[in-house]
Chains A and B, each alone.
Chain A
């Protein structure tokens, strides 16, 4: 790749677009991250949008944001932003807390009239002082400029205002030396069938870029160095899309058709959208009448021989729990994706949390073990979804894969795997030599039941939710048999540990006595916190769990090596509680946050330091 960039001021930069939910901030952010990716930068994004589709214009509840982190060696969308674009006072007020002290706020000053300030609940005429904004503010008359750029095209005010996001985008592209041609081609693609809309958007985009050029003296420009990726072909993916793609690859590698039974729920719906689109790859995605029929149709499809999946978020998982019990009892392969959001109940549907861990582990009637995993990052959703499907099919068990709103909506550059990079998945079919005597709940030496697929002569059988006899598979109420089956189902899931990677520890120094431990989607923040701590000379190791039930075989050994294991998670201590029950000999400390927002790296760094200090 050519070394396009010659000057670097910073290793990475963070831009946050903010405005009304109707202002097109997600689109502007998306285009910016895409054009950044195309010039070879590492990116990480974080859409932060309101639950309401269209809250009242200009009010605090209607503010929508999109943060993009571009640069080198980064793992999160960034704590603070270097540039904050705010289309109105409400957006500025809601987002000023994210702006770095050395950063720049760019506002549409035309949208800062008295009435706008009132809508955003400002009480004085000096909004900047009122919210304690000390950074540089660039006041840009965006509305005026947009109107000027579109003059003579016969567009009404409303249509003109819809282009305002492109002005902001153009300006930001200029700030970071992004050539406009990529953004223009994005727009050409998006508005291919609407030449008039395309023309207007491109005019405004150029207007913003040129405006930046003209006021050159007042803003310092950043440039981003190219970064050191593994060679290969890359594309930009969100976690949800990567999840969908991982499942498709698993279908290819297992030679079982992919079935999705699902019901729309934020923030998981994009997986349904992507898989619905993928009829072009043979995916049967069915939007069912509710969460329960989503999972039940998937269970039916699993019985009939498909790689069956259902996707949901926390409240949906609760609705599915009885059917999950059925899948455990019938010992069928099933992948359940839970894109976690703020709970309980409807909670904060668009916000991120890690609060479904204990629900996934224990939230069912009876003794009901299943495999629980968690994806680490947007791109890791691909590998994790593949793994979840592999385990489900090879071990005849439901697998719950936990992602979260943060990694599901966030995006990263993803290297497209080579052919053959992922293994074949081997369904546990009834072996030829067993067919004559086979019984439905017969197990192999991993305790795994066989998958006898309807349509196969000679293997007709009945499965169901009632307890079965260990030997014959016929309904049984015998007390000892039930206990034997309870143990068999548990052992089958425990045996999965023999087929997953060991827990890897990152270590800068030998002999660290503290382990920073996280799970799932906090990987980037925990990793960055560990890097920062190590750089500051704190002796600490780091690990992030991806397989939670069963845990990797070496987990006990690893944890026992440390005087203190600090579990950092976006809940009130669910993983810590789980681990404490498994490893009572280990001393756990906790860093928790339950605000519907990702960690700030600094929060983890400070949390670790405080725990160390408290322990001295």
Chain B
């Protein structure tokens, strides 16, 4: 059957500027909110992709981040809480030529929309899913979210939560995700790079963006985002390159039994040769998952494209099957089909 390449956008590669994706609406997020940066990165990524605004659709659910479609000069749809993924699925199946983005927060995507999230990942619908994770409910003013750590104190958990959080990557891999990348709102270059990669990947691309909420959860990601320590507590993974990090660029990841270990190159007998080379295209997600689960403490938090494997995407397969079955049966229209069945004539 025909595969994904049917849907390569013919208009891609046009000379476009970020301003071509901006509109005149006043951006209403709180001053200092990480969403401002993410919006700006998205505009730049879209310009880099060169897919014109009219071939782009941005779909969201409900939450602070879900207001993003109002600031896009593309086609856009601000839907209802948790359902952005289901709406995006319909958009993409109806018109596979559109580049479809979904914007969701951690509550929208992993609590009320959790079911749609795992199924869109499983189905591998070609949607670029920006999961803006600030580990809090902002729009409803400060309740814990499904990514808040156990014991997190919030308005709805005044004595601390008594539940463990989801790790988005773990859910995505559990749902057999074909693409997972992570960025942070203060890392503009890496974030733009992963958004572009997400759009180019055919299938459901999950991009977790760690995002700061100034008002209700300020500094929640500061352990990994603080400028002074960021290089030591994060690693930028690039396919085909050694997994090296640290201010001095002398730290590396090596395999240690069934797990990973961070070492200093030149110490304890470790050389550059021992350091793993990132393979985002590896079919097995075993190492990808280990990389994605690193949290910046014992091992650096992984940024960049962690997993990017090819698989057939849902809308392409639906379209190909429709074309194939249609051609095979060759009915002109409904009447033609009905007349080919059991009928009788009354004269």
Residue numbers of A with Cβ under 8 A of B are 1, 34, 37-38, 40, 229-236, 245, 248-249, 252, 257, 259, 261, 278-284, 286, 288-290, 292-293, 296-306, 308, 322-323, 325-326, 330, 415-417, 419, 454-466, 474-475
Contacts and interface: CB of A to CB of B under 8 A. Distances in A.
Given A233-B345, A296-B86, A252 B334 contact: yes
B115 interface: yes
A296 B79 contact: yes
A134 to B, nearest CB: 39
Contacts of A259: 90, 93-94
B55 interface: yes
A455 B98 contact: yes
A579 to B, nearest CB: 32
27 contacts: A1-B345, A1-B347, A231-B346, A231-B347, A235-B343, A259-B90, A280-B325, A280-B328, A281-B331, A282-B326, A286-B93, A288-B119, A289-B116, A289-B119, A290-B115, A293-B83, A296-B83, A303-B91, A304-B94, A304-B98, A322-B80, A326-B79, A416-B338, A455-B54, A456-B54, A464-B70, A465-B62
Contacts of B85: 293
Contacts of A278: 337
A257 B95 CA distance: 10
A508 B325 CA distance: 52
Contacts of B53: 460
Which 8 pairs between the two chains have the least Cβ-Cβ distance?
A: A300-B90, A464-B78, A296-B86, A297-B90, A304-B94, A293-B86, A280-B329, A300-B87
A279 B91 CA distance: 18
A298 B90 contact: yes
Contacts of B87: 296-297, 299-300, 303
B85 to A, nearest CB: 8
Contacts of B346: 1, 40, 229-234, 415
**Residue of B75, B90, B94, B345 with highest tally of chain A CB at under 10 A:** B90
A432 B254 CA distance: 63
B72 A462 contact: yes
A279 B80 contact: no
A57 to B, nearest CB: 33
B344 interface: yes
Given A231-B347, A296-B87, A280 B335 contact: no
A259 B322 CA distance: 12
Contacts, number: 204
Contact of A416 (B25, B73, B74, B335): B335
Contacts of A281: 326, 331, 333-334, 337
Given A233-B344, A279-B326, A465-B78, A300 B91 contact: yes
Contacts of B338: 235, 245, 416
B335 A419 contact: yes
A231 to B, nearest CB: 5
Contact of A454 (B98, B116, B334, B347): B98
Nearest to A298: B90
Contact of A457 (B54, B331, B334): B54
B342 interface: yes
Contacts of A280: 325-326, 328-329, 331, 337
B45 interface: no
Contact of B89 (A293, A325, A461): A293
A460 to B, nearest CB: 5
Given A232-B345, A252-B334, A281-B326, A465 B80 contact: yes
A298 B90 CA distance: 6
B318 A454 contact: no
Contacts of B98: 304, 454-455
Interface centre among B55, B322, B331 (most CB of A within 10 A): B322
Contacts of B331: 280-281
A278 B322 CA distance: 9
B337 to A, nearest CB: 6
B344 A252 contact: no
A289 to B, nearest CB: 4
Contacts of B329: 280
Contacts of A322: 80
Given A286-B93, A303-B91, A326-B80, A454 B54 contact: yes
A460 B322 contact: no
B59 interface: yes
Contacts of A326: 79-80
A468 B115 CA distance: 29
A323 B94 contact: no
B345 A297 contact: no
B54 A460 contact: yes
B1 interface: no
Nearest to B97: A455
A466 B61 CA distance: 11
Interface string B86-106: 111111111101100000000
A457 B16 CA distance: 14
Contacts of A233: 339, 343-346
Nearest to B82: A292
A417 B326 contact: no
Given A280-B328, A416-B335, A464-B69, 7 more contacts: A245-B334, A280-B329, A300-B91, A303-B90, A455-B98, A460-B53, A462-B78
Contacts of B255: none
Contacts of A308: 90, 94
Nearest to B322: A279
